[in-house]
Structure 1
Amino acid sequence: MSNIDQYIHAATRENTRRSYQAAVQHFEVSWGGFLPATADSVARYLADHAETLAINTLKLRLSGLAQWHRDQGFPDPTKAPIVKKVLKGIRELHPTREKRARPIQLEELTTIAGQLELALSIAVEKGDRKASIVHARNRALLLLGFWRGFRSDEICRLRVELVTVRPGEGMTIYLPRSKGDRQSLGRELKVPALSHLCPVSAYEEWIKNADIAEGPVFRAINRWGHLSETELASNSISPLLRHMIEQAGLHHKNVSSHSLRRGFANWANANGWDTKTLMEYVGWKDVQSAMRYVDAADPFSQQRIEQNISTRKPIHNLPE
């Protein structure tokens, strides 16, 4: 690979690259389309999958096809008017409600973290190294993921050498890249030390138990209690979180890695954080992205309605 190819390859995130490759393979191999594609063939492809694939999946497939054509120097057929009209028609005829992860509430976070802390104490007392490092890792991942509102890929890309801890004060994390960092400038993130559910002390305990000096912060642990040299896969965070919730005796329906991010956003919103502060802290670049994670107060709640009813003066019947 030449230097130019190496830099071009690095310009696209690995997850995005895999998604685009899967999109091209689905169009060409599974559906039987030809590349370079025509606008008509792309429109037929959309129509054939309109009832089986979600609109967001179809849009991702179009992005993959568009990228392939740009990379190969061909005109992009996905921008043709017929493709846009077919996609709009699919939205009209097959409307779907966006599925959102259920936010982790602070009470749930307290229960899960408490269960992990208890399990860690028992494992240490028994001398069970594997169980102790598993529980220490999970607790650190849970608390750090919640209080920083991390995405799953951000959690997995954390590196020990890019974390600076000030005991009793907090920690600083340098994140070389993230989804919202379009220019790949990197972000320096502050994590405060807390008196309760502290992500800093949980991180310190995990690093100490695992004896990690450099490399990925969060890693897989095999059946013998040996740590992997590589980072956790981002698609492993959701099942890992659901396992923690189940072990704490709670329901894990509709929980994913986004539940930590949504949980923090809702907690911050309920505790008076303004939108600008929340956006800067979490890393959102536009208000629409932030609002997708925050559950606004229900304007039709019983309390509001009852209050309005109670303040209205009664209307007496006029005499006939």
Structure 2
Amino acid sequence: MTSVDRYLEAATRTNTRRGYRSAIRHFEEVWGGFLPATADAVARYLADHAESLALNTLRLRLAALSQWHLEQGFPDPTKASVVRKVLKGIGELHPAREQQARPLQIEELARLDDWLAARIQESANHDEQAARRRATRDRALILLGFWRAFRGDELNRLRVEHIQVIPGEGMTLYLPRTKTDHSARGSEFKVPALSRLCPVDAYLDWISLTQLTEGPVFRRINRWGAVGDEALHPNSLIPLLRKRFVEAGLAMPEHYSGHSLRRGFASWANANHWDVKSLMDYVGWKDMKSALRYIERPDAFGRERIERALAQT
């Protein structure tokens, strides 16, 4: 790989590259398409998967095909009128409601934290190193993910050397790159120390237990309790969270995902009367629409407001 290729690859997020490679394989190996593709072939590919794939997934496949053609110096067939019209028609005939992750409520967070704390103590008493390390890691990951409203990939990219802690006060985390940091200047996040459900104490417990001094914060742990060198795989976060939710007895664990921590904090902040501007500044949202998508209204059905009005009449 030349230095130019290396920098071009760095310009695209790892998750995006992985998704694009998967989309190209699906087009060629699963569907049997040929590259470079014609506009008619791309339109037929969309039509053949209109009922089996979500509209957003089809858009991702188009983006991958577009990127491949541009990188290889071929005309982009995805911009053709026939492709755009087929995609619009799919949206009309197969509208799909956007699936949103269930937000983790503060009561559920407390229940989960109590269970993890008990598991940590129990495994320490029985000298179960692997179980103790996993529970300590997961407790820090969940509390930090909730109170900082991090995305899953942001949690995976946290590094020990980029975190500064003032015990009893808070911690500062630096991420060289975030989803909205298009200029690649890096972003700094503040996390307060709390009287309960404290992400700072949970992080310090994890670092103290593992003696990590650099590298990824949250890592794979093998069956014998050895901590790996690499960060958790991006696809492992949702199964990890759901497993802990099941163990702690939370209802409908299959409805949770990596966004449940982020949505949970946004809903908690909204219920505690944070104004949208303060919430956007804290989380790092750049536009109002992004913020409102994550907020779970306390009175989602309007029942309380209507009941109050009925009582007055």
Shorter chain as denominator, the TM-score bin is over 0.9
1:116/1:139 contact within 8 Å kept: yes
1:12 maps to amino acid: T
Q: Partner of 2:26 in structure 1?
A: 26
1:291 maps to amino acid: L
**C-alpha distance in structure 2 between counterparts of 1:293 and 1:300, whole Å:** 16
Identity %: 58
Q: Partner of 2:257 in structure 1?
A: 256
Q: Partner of 1:157 in structure 2?
A: 157
With 212-221 and 296-305 compared, the bigger mean Cα shift is at 296-305
1:93 maps to amino acid: L
Q: Partner of 1:98 in structure 2?
A: 98
**C-alpha distance in structure 2 between counterparts of 1:75 and 1:297, whole Å:** 50
Structure 2 segments unaligned to the other structure (5+ residues): none
With 251-260 and 288-297 compared, the bigger mean Cα shift is at 288-297
Q: Partner of 1:229 in structure 2?
A: 229
Change (3 A) 1:237 1:299: closer
Shift of 1:253: 2.8
Structure 1 segments unaligned to the other structure (5+ residues): 313-320
Per-residue Cα deviation, 1:79-118 (whole angstroms, up to 9, x for no partner): 1221111111101111111111100000000000011111
**C-alpha distance in structure 2 between counterparts of 1:28 and 1:247, whole Å:** 41
2:105 maps to amino acid: Q
How many corresponding residue pairs? 312
Q: Partner of 1:17 in structure 2?
A: 17
Q: Partner of 2:212 in structure 1?
A: 212
**C-alpha distance in structure 2 between counterparts of 1:225 and 1:34, whole Å:** 47
**C-alpha distance in structure 2 between counterparts of 1:150 and 1:297, whole Å:** 21
With 78-87 and 226-235 compared, the bigger mean Cα shift is at 78-87
Shift of 1:258: 0.7
**C-alpha distance in structure 2 between counterparts of 1:215 and 1:300, whole Å:** 46
Per-residue Cα deviation, 1:119-161 (whole angstroms, up to 9, x for no partner): 1112222222222211111110110010001111110111100
Q: Partner of 1:68 in structure 2?
A: 68
1:46/1:86 contact within 8 Å kept: yes
2:42/2:77 contact within 8 Å kept: yes
1:219/1:232 contact within 8 Å kept: yes
1:152/1:235 contact within 8 Å kept: no
1:75 maps to amino acid: P
Bigger radius of gyration, 1 or 2? Answer: 1
Q: Is the counterpart of residue 187 in structure 1 residue 171 in structure 2?
A: no
Shift of 1:297: 5.0
Shift of 1:300: 4.7
Q: Partner of 1:287 in structure 2?
A: 288
**C-alpha distance in structure 2 between counterparts of 1:68 and 1:250, whole Å:** 43
Q: Partner of 1:169 in structure 2?
A: 169
Q: Map of 1:104-143 to 2, 5 A cutoff? A: 104-143=104-143
Q: Map of 1:25-64 to 2, 5 A cutoff? A: 25-64=25-64
**C-alpha distance in structure 2 between counterparts of 1:81 and 1:280, whole Å:** 40
2:171/2:192 contact within 8 Å kept: yes
Q: Partner of 1:269 in structure 2?
A: 270
2:134/2:221 contact within 8 Å kept: yes
Helix, strand or coil: the match of 1:188? strand
1:218 maps to amino acid: F
**C-alpha distance in structure 1 between counterparts of 2:247 and 2:223, whole Å:** 18
Q: Partner of 1:317 in structure 2?
A: none
Superposed CA RMSD in Å reads 1.3
Per-residue Cα deviation, 1:196-219 (whole angstroms, up to 9, x for no partner): 100000000000011111111001
Q: TM-score, normalised by structure 2?
A: 0.96
**C-alpha distance in structure 2 between counterparts of 1:285 and 1:69, whole Å:** 31
With 71-80 and 103-112 compared, the bigger mean Cα shift is at 71-80
**C-alpha distance in structure 2 between counterparts of 1:255 and 1:164, whole Å:** 30
**C-alpha distance in structure 1 between counterparts of 2:242 and 2:265, whole Å:** 17
With 160-169 and 16-25 compared, the bigger mean Cα shift is at 16-25
Shift of 1:168: 0.6
Helix, strand or coil: the match of 1:12? coil
Change (3 A) 1:266 1:299: closer
Change (3 A) 1:253 1:29: closer
Q: Map of 1:297-308 to 2, 5 A cutoff? A: 298=299, 300-308=301-309
With 274-283 and 150-159 compared, the bigger mean Cα shift is at 274-283
Helix, strand or coil: the match of 1:272? coil
2:78 maps to amino acid: T
Shift of 1:272: 1.2
Q: Map of 1:77-88 to 2, 5 A cutoff? A: 77-88=77-88
